Structure 1
Amino acid sequence: MESVEHISCLKVKISNVSLDQLPELLYNLLETGESHHIVLLSLWDLLRARKNNDYRAYVQSAALVIPISKSIVGGVRFLTGKTIHRVMPFEFFIKTLTALEERQKSVYLLGSHLKSLKTAERNLKHTFPRLRIVGRCTGDFKRTEEATILTAIRKASPSLLLAARGIPGQERWLARNKLALGPGIKIWCSDLFDVFAERKHRPGKKTFDRGFEWIGYTFHNPLHIFRIFPYLYYKFLLLYYKLFRRG
């Protein structure tokens, strides 16, 4: 596999990967015939990984941990002097699906509600006609149905499993069932299906590049304003690690 630089930020793994590198990295992961997962890491995810052992293990064991928050890029630069790539989630998924379509790979859609899932599937088929969608399942399944769903996904053997909100345990479900899901790439895509179903807006490119995407999220959920406190805690941690520790 092409060499990927992994950097520690507050003892959480970060991968320095550009969008141009992504297709080849995906192909290399698929060629191993093993189960891999990729994490798109926000600042809040980084802080969660520091205090939640299960989530930390999920992040640390990922094939790629790609930062999506400008604050992470700034933190890495502050601690190490290195400038790493930050990727816009929507661009990441477009690049990923395009790369898989070029080699006529397959995808399985898991999560969200039926209406959004069906609309997202239809739009994905229209946008990526040579990408094979080999199955879909809503996330509101019962625990008694879990074994059947795992078997269905494993038999479908998708190159990529996209898992969205609605699944019990969210990313923890992916981590817990990593081997049972069979080989291929697994990615937690949060609200991607709602975006493809045009039920949720994504931040514009300029807004994202400036690191202002949080403003739109705060308008939709005013409670996000309280994230200023973990943000200040993050700044304190950076200073502490810079002065007294490494990583």
Structure 2
Amino acid sequence: MTRIELLGVPVDVCRPENLEEEIMKILEKPGAKQIVFLSVWDLLKARNKKKDFGDCLRNADLILPISKSILKGARFLRLDVPVRYNPFNAVIQILNTLDHHYKTLYMLGARKKTLQKAEHNVHDTFRNLRIVGRYVGYFPKNAEENVVQAIFKASPSLVIVSDGIKEKNLWAYHRRDKFSSSIFLYYKDCLGIFAGRIRRVSEKTFDAGKEIWNEIGHSPLRIFLIFPYMRYKILLLFYKLFRRGKKNNESGIYHVESLDKNKKEEPASNNIN
């Protein structure tokens, strides 16, 4: 697996055939771990130095892009082009990995009936995956300590964080010192889809990169995302012309700072897969 920086934000290049191996490597690490599904809107948010989402990404163990624009941006800047993941399919692949290795799962989020239905369906689908706990979303502040303690005691292999958790990815990041193990993965619609209460985006729509139109259909105000998208395009052009890094005059390769703490700076590949 390779980690690149796109507009100063980390993104991982992880092939689907290597995902199971990476998940098992992450599980072997001590402490709380995190997998993040990264949209182009998240990428722009991570560039805001006044917020800690950027720190959350830099500490994440696996960052999988879900927006087609991220791949186009990496290609435009001649970086290694990451693989785009459909969040639901990625969750299924991760659960299949855990099921194959007899691991455990904790489900956090959604309303009571949705959570119960999701648990039932997951249990029927992944027979070797043991569900060691669940807790609804939208819980009051005074219940948080009980939630954290329950996850700590259960020490699940994976915690799926879904709808009803206000801090989203930052919920696990802000409390990472309170957990002894576990991978945390936030995906808002996950439990709703498992319960059959939310219809997921079709493969055709997702592959075409047109899922934003589904979101606009449910929330017309999201049409104004055109403005941050224009900003993203301008930033790409700026980085193309003035990006930091030392350019090799012969090969045209930029040397990008590695985010691997155990490695020194390495040249980014100019191979486009």
TM-score norm. by structure 2 comes to 0.86
Match of 1:68 among 66, 69, 80: 66
**Amino acid in structure 1 at the alignment position of 2:6:** C
**Higher share in helix:** 1
Deviations 1:197-240 (A, max 9, x none): 11111111121111111111111111111111111110011001
Q: Please, which of 14, 17, 22 is the counterpart of residue 17 of structure 1? A: 14
Q: C-alpha separation between the residues in 2 aligned to 1:116 and 1:181?
A: 26
Q: 1:81/1:145 Cα in 2 relative to 1: closer, same or farther (>3 Å)?
A: closer
Code of the residue aligned with 1:35 in structure 2: it is: A
The count of residues paired between Structure 1 and Structure 2 equals 244
Q: Which residue of 2 aligns with 1:170?
A: 168
The residue type paired with residue 10 of structure 1 is L
RMSD: 1.3
Letter in 1 for 2:5: S
Task: State how far apart, in whole Å, the 2-side matches of 1:34 and 1:145 are.
Answer: 23
**Structure 1: gaps (5+ residues):** none
Cα shift at 1:67: 0.4
The AA in structure 1 aligned to 2:2 is E
- Would you identify which runs of 4 or more consecutive aligned residues in structure 1 move more than 3 Å? none
TM-superposition CA deviations, 1:83-107 (whole Å, max 9, x none): 2211111110000000000011000
Query: Residue 144 of structure 2 aligns with which residue?
Result: 146
1:11-90 to structure 2, matched below 5 A, reads 11-51=8-48, 52-90=50-88
Instruction: Give the counterpart letter for 1:194 in structure 2.
Output: G
Structure 2 residue ranges without an equivalent (≥5): 245-255, 257-273
CA contact (8 A) 2:95 2:126 kept: yes
> Which of 120, 131, 150 is 2:129 aligned to?
131
The residue type equivalent to 1:7 in the other structure is I
State, as a whole percentage, how many aligned pairs show the same letter: 41
Task: State the structure with more CA Rg.
Answer: 2
Q: Which residue of 1 aligns with 2:217?
A: 219
Bigger CA drift: 110-119 or 167-176?
A: 167-176
* C-alpha distance in 2 between matches for 1:201 and 1:132: 26
The Cα of 1:30 is off from its aligned counterpart by 1.1
> What code does the residue aligned with 1:91 have?
N
| Deviation string, structure 1 residues 33-80 (Cα, Å, up to 9, x no partner) | 332101100011001111153111111110111100000000011012
Q: Which residue of 200, 203, 216 corresponds with 1:202?
A: 200
TM-score with structure 1 setting the length:
0.95
The answer as to whether partners of 2:4 and 2:79 remain within 8 angstroms in 1 is: no
